[in-house]
């Protein structure tokens, strides 16, 4: 079996004296799509912050490509192949679309040129961004900003893309476009961690689901298993 690209074991973390994560463990193999499911405040976004060095961990271990990544700053985590599409998009509103994408662009040494995410490739993936390439981030619609956030992350040429509530607050047609984008990225072999509330759309996309409740993993399984246990969805997701 292919070794995991990302391995998280016994993760514990919190804010000051308030512990949020008590024992979070999961892994992501190359090309695999997993979800982190749970209600708001259960630890999903805190887990993401730990992965990207934005929050120190108090116990546990994070490995990326077999190497320990505990405590690495965000830019070094990115150089190892992780990219984040953050909740709320957080694009640079005073920069143009193109400036946003080249600001953090990176091609790892030895990365196959034909597979690299370049401006042209991102523009082909999101034609609307090409049309708006000279517009400031503040001049984009919410959907266009989300496309830009994804495009900016892809420009770091990651092996694992993490999306935190990528469809939240978007119009239905735009949400559908984002779901189609994620399906296409999966077909291209990019590993994904997806945090979203739309279980119905996550079921056909993801290979495995990790349910987090009060900072602990309380259930893990594939889509068939989750679909066969609606009580899990009701109890932990409130759906």
Nearest to 153 by CA among 69, 43, 74: 74
Distance between CA atoms of residues 233 and 239, nearest Å: 6
Model confidence pLDDT, tens digit, residues 55-78: 999 999 999 999 999 989 999 999
Question: What confidence tier does 32 reach under pLDDT thresholds 50, 70, 90?
Answer: very high
Percent of the chain exceeding pLDDT 90 equals 86
Distance between CA atoms of residues 57 and 50, nearest Å: 6
Question: What confidence tier does 238 reach under pLDDT thresholds 50, 70, 90?
Answer: confident
Rounded average pLDDT over 172-183 = 94
What are the backbone dihedrals phi and psi of residue 124, each rounded to the nearest 5 degrees, phi first?
-70, -30
Report the chain's mean pLDDT, rounded to a whole number: 93
Model confidence pLDDT, tens digit, residues 142-169: 999 999 999 999 999 999 999 999 999 8
Question: What confidence tier does 9 reach under pLDDT thresholds 50, 70, 90?
Answer: very high
Crossing angle of the two packed helices 142-154 and 172-187, in degrees rounded to 10: 10
Looking at residue 112, what is its pLDDT? 72
Instruction: Kindly write down the DSSP assignment for every residue of 40-90, as one continuous string.
Output: TTSSHHHHHHHHTTSS-EEEEEEEETTEE-TT--HHHHHHTTEEEE-TT--
Domains of the chain, first to last: 1-81+196-239 (3.40.50.300)
Looking at residue 66, what is its pLDDT? 92
- The residue with tokens 């090309």 is 31
Question: What confidence tier does 89 reach under pLDDT thresholds 50, 70, 90?
Answer: confident
Top pLDDT among 158 and 1 is at: 158
**pLDDT at 233 exceeding the cut of 90:** no
Model confidence pLDDT, tens digit, residues 97-135: 999 999 989 988 877 777 899 999 999 999 999 999 999
What is the enclosing helix (H) or strand (E) of 8?
strand 6-15
């Amino acid at each position: 079996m292919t070794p995991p690209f990302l391995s998280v074991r016994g993760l514990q973390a919190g804010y000051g004296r308030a512990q949020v994560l008590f024992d979070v463990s999961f892994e992501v193999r190359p090309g695999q799509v997993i979800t982190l499911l749970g209600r708001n405040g259960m630890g999903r976004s805190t887990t993401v912050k730990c992965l990207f060095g934005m929050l120190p961990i108090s116990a546990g271990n994070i490995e990326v490509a077999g190497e320990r990544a505990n405590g690495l700053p965000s830019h070094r985590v990115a150089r190892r192949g992780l990219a984040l599409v953050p909740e709320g998009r957080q694009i640079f509103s005073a920069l143009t679309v193109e400036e946003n994408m080249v600001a953090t662009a990176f091609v790892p040494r030895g990365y196959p040129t034909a597979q690299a995410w370049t401006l042209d490739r991102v523009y082909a993936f999101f034609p609307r961004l090409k049309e708006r390439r000279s517009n400031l981030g503040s001049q984009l619609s919410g959907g266009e900003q989300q496309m830009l956030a994804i495009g900016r992350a892809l420009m770091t040429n990651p092996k694992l893309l993490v999306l935190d509530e990528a469809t939240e607050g978007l119009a239905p047609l735009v949400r559908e476009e984002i779901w189609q984008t994620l399906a296409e990225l999966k077909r291209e072999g990019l590993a994904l961690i997806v945090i979203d509330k739309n279980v119905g759309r996550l079921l056909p996309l993801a290979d495995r689901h990790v349910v987090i409740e009060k900072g602990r993993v309380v259930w893990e399984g594939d889509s068939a298993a989750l679909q066969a246990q609606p009580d899990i969805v009701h109890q932990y997701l409130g759906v």
